[in-house]
Every structure is written in C-alpha cells, then in structure tokens.
Structure 1
Amino acid sequence: MARYTQLFTIATPLDRFRQLLEDVLQSCNCAVIYDGEDYMVAREKPGGVTYAQLVTVEVLIDKTAIATPKDEVRMNVVVKNEELPLKSDNHCWRMFSLVNRAVAENNHWNLLSSTAG
C-alpha cells in the first residue's frame, strides 16, 4: 500500500476553513465522503485509473494544539491507495504532490509551515 503524509499549519478564519478544505480537495478530483469535527476523508473520483490506484485523502485536523492562535489550523494530510509503490513516481505520489501543491498555493489562507511526515 502506498502512503504519503504531510503536516501543514495554516492561518485562516476557522468559520471558512472546512469549506475551503473541501474546495481544495475537489480541485484535486476528490469528493469528500466523510466530514467530522476533526477528520475529513475524500476519495478520488473513478475513471482515470484502476480501482487499486484510486487515492483516499485523510485530513486530521488539530485546532486545539497548545499555543495555537485562534485562526491557526494544523492538519495532517495522508494520501494513500492500494497499489504497491514499486516506482517512486507512482499515481499515489503524483496525487500526493497535487494535493500538497493545492494546499500550499491556496489563495484563501496563509501557509505557515509544511513538514513531511
């Protein structure tokens, strides 16, 4: 199973964060299938790759970290699928890069930090 993680800290109004995150995931051809208070899951829309290559994006949202300003959100993004990562440039890695770029370049929030997991 291929699996890649990235930890982001962003500054954004919390009342808009969930919608902005959903928009980012949709821009990456993913549909949100679960939206909890501190967890969001999106699945890549079928059609472009085999079923085993379809990517799931899990976002763990940490708004309660000690010493975190009010409008700062930490999120751990996990991109995974069922394919074996036999090559370093596999579909899961490409989708991981696409999601990271979409988060980092979003004009509706400020990226404060990004760390590979």
Structure 2
Amino acid sequence: MARYTSSFLAKTNLEQIPILLCQLVESCDFEVVYQATDYLMAREIPGQVPFSKLVTVEALVESTAAQNNEVPVTFVIKNDELPLKSNNHCQQLFQKLQLALNQSQEWRLIAAVAT
C-alpha cells in the first residue's frame, strides 16, 4: 500500500476549513466522499486507472491546536498499489496535491513524509 503524508497550516479560521478543503481536493480532481468539521475524505474519480490504483485523500483537522487563525491539517494520500517504483500513481497525485497546496496563499507547509 502506497501512503504519503504531509502537514500544513491553513491560514484561516476554523469555520472556513471545510470550504477550503473541498476547493482544494476538487481542484486536484478528487470527489468528496465524506466531510465533517474536523475530517474530510475524498477519492480519485474512477475510470482513468485500475481500481487498485485509485487514490484516497484524508484530511485531518487538528481543531484543538488551532490558534491565531492558523489551523494545522494533516493530509494522508494512499491507495492499494504496492509502491514498487518511486514514481507511482499515488506519488504523482501526492505531488499534484502538494503543488496545489504550495501555490495557494492559504496554506503553509510544516512537514511532508513518504511512507
């Protein structure tokens, strides 16, 4: 199973986080499957790759650590594909999400880890 994580600070208040997360994942061609105030799950839209390569994104909002209009969010990007190559499908979508986060004014990188 390929799995990549990254942590970011959202430069906004806690109430705006669900809207920001939806816009972010939809801009990266994911569809929201489930959303709560402190959690979002989105999946890659089926049809382009085999089922085992479909990528899921989870966004975990650390609402208790929010302060001064900065909210920590951890992203987990994963799929069932074995990461036999360093440039696999999950890694490519992880990079796409990272790029979208880095280009946005609302997000600041804390850490990114490939596991």
**Same fold (TM > 0.5):** yes
Kindly report the root-mean-square deviation, in angstroms, between the aligned alpha carbons of the 2 structures: 1.4
1:76 match: secondary structure: strand
CA–CA distance in structure 2, aligned partners of residues 29 and 43 of structure 1: 9
1:47 and 2:47 aligned: yes
CA–CA distance in structure 2, aligned partners of residues 74 and 25 of structure 1: 17
CA–CA distance in structure 2, aligned partners of residues 54 and 101 of structure 1: 19
Q: Could you tell me which amino acid in structure 2 is paired with residue 103 of structure 1?
A: L
Q: 1:72 aligns with which of 47, 70, 78?
A: 70
Partner of 2:110: 114
Q: Which runs of 4+ in 1 moved over 6 A?
A: none
CA–CA distance in structure 1, aligned partners of residues 74 and 107 of structure 2: 16
| Structure 2, gaps ≥5 residues long | none
Contact 2:18 2:37 in 1 (8 A): no
TM-score by length of 1: 0.89
Shift in Å at residue 48 of structure 1? 1.3
CA–CA distance in structure 1, aligned partners of residues 68 and 30 of structure 2: 28
| Structure 1, gaps ≥5 residues long | none
Contact 1:53 1:81 in 2 (8 A): yes
Shift in Å at residue 110 of structure 1? 4.3
TM-score by length of 2: 0.90
Partner of 1:28: 28
Shift in Å at residue 97 of structure 1? 0.7
Shift in Å at residue 37 of structure 1? 2.3
